[in-house]
Amino acid sequence: MEVSKKNKLNKIVKEIETCQACNLCKNRIKSVVSRGNENAKIILIGEAPGKLENEIGKPFVGKSGQQLNDLLSKVGFNPEQDIYFCNVVKCRPVRNNKDRKPNKQEIEACVKYLNAQIEIVKPEIIILCGNTAKKIFKINKPLKMVHGSCIDYKGIKLIPVYHPRASIIDEVKFNDLKKVKKLRG
Ligand code: SF4
């Protein structure tokens, strides 16, 4: 009998809950693995959990998550149905009690989990939300040059977009997500 996506993903969740592969495990209240639908054709990858995500155990649940949900709904997505949300790293990077970007070692230690999630979910489209997510796929041009473009990666369409926190007008973020909606239909 074929093991379901859910079972495969649950196995990863269990591994992450006890992972000590980098120092970020010391900040972990809850591991932050995913939300949304594992059968969706779109994965959206952010950077790392923030304070609220660490407490709740789900990605994109804070203020920027709400902004993102609003934009996705506005372009016609049902976020929980149409998208599988996750981050590059699964535990919260923090300095002086404030969120920070994950460093190279932390990303290298954690990226195996993201790769496993992509392998299991098998998306047609990956939305790369912010710089950290885009760099994982070796897209090194600045976001201002590549946001909203479609880049092929092993048959998957990669679409870099601005993070909801980025100081860019909402119209730009909206238009990029609209392109994703057009591709998906
Ligand atoms: S961030 Fe990733 S690699 Fe580091 S402890 Fe958490 S799950 Fe493990």
What are 91-116's pLDDT values in tens digits? 999 999 999 999 999 999 999 999 99
> Can you tell me the distance from the alpha carbon of 171 to that of 128, in angstroms, rounded to the nearest whole number?
18
Q: Which atom of ligand 1 is nearest to the CA of 89?
A: 1
Task: State the average pLDDT for the chain.
Answer: 94
Question: To test ligand 1's pocket by mutation, which of 17, 18, 19, 104 has the most ligand atoms within 8 angstroms of CB?
Answer: 19
> Can you tell me the distance from the alpha carbon of 168 to that of 143, in angstroms, rounded to the nearest whole number?
11
Query: How far apart are the CA of 116 and the centre of ligand 1, in A?
Result: 14
Structural domains for the chain: 5-184 (3.40.470.10)
What are 123-172's pLDDT values in tens digits? 999 999 999 999 999 999 999 999 999 999 999 999 999 988 787 888 89
CB atoms within 10 A of CB 25: 16
Query: How far apart are the CA of 113 and the centre of ligand 1, in A?
Result: 9
1: pLDDT strictly greater than 60: no
Q: Which atom of ligand 1 is nearest to the CA of 16?
A: 7
> Can you tell me the distance from the alpha carbon of 155 to that of 79, in angstroms, rounded to the nearest whole number?
23
CA-to-CA dists, residue 156 to 118, 137, 163, 177, angstroms: 10, 12, 20, 17
Using CA atoms of 121, 135, 46, 86 in order, give the dihedral in degrees to the nearest 10: 20
Query: Is 142 in contact with 162 (CB distance < 8 Å)?
Result: no
Say if residue 136 is exposed, middle or buried (CB neighbours under 10 Å; 0-12, 13-18, 19+). middle
CA-to-CA dists, residue 78 to 2, 18, 96, 121, angstroms: 28, 32, 36, 18
Nearest CA to ligand 1 atom 1: 91
| Ligand 1-lining residues (CB < 6 angstroms) | 16, 19-22, 24-25, 89-91, 106, 109-110
If you average pLDDT over residues 68-78, what whole number do you get? 94
pLDDT band at 63 (very low <50, low <70, confident <90, very high): confident
Query: How far apart are the CA of 14 and the centre of ligand 1, in A?
Result: 12
Look at residue 2 in the predicted model and tell me its pLDDT.
64
Against a cut of 0.85, is the pTM above it? yes
Nearest CA to ligand 1 atom 4: 22
CB atoms within 10 A of CB 71: 19
Look at residue 164 in the predicted model and tell me its pLDDT.
84
Say if residue 137 is exposed, middle or buried (CB neighbours under 10 Å; 0-12, 13-18, 19+). middle
Look at residue 24 in the predicted model and tell me its pLDDT.
97
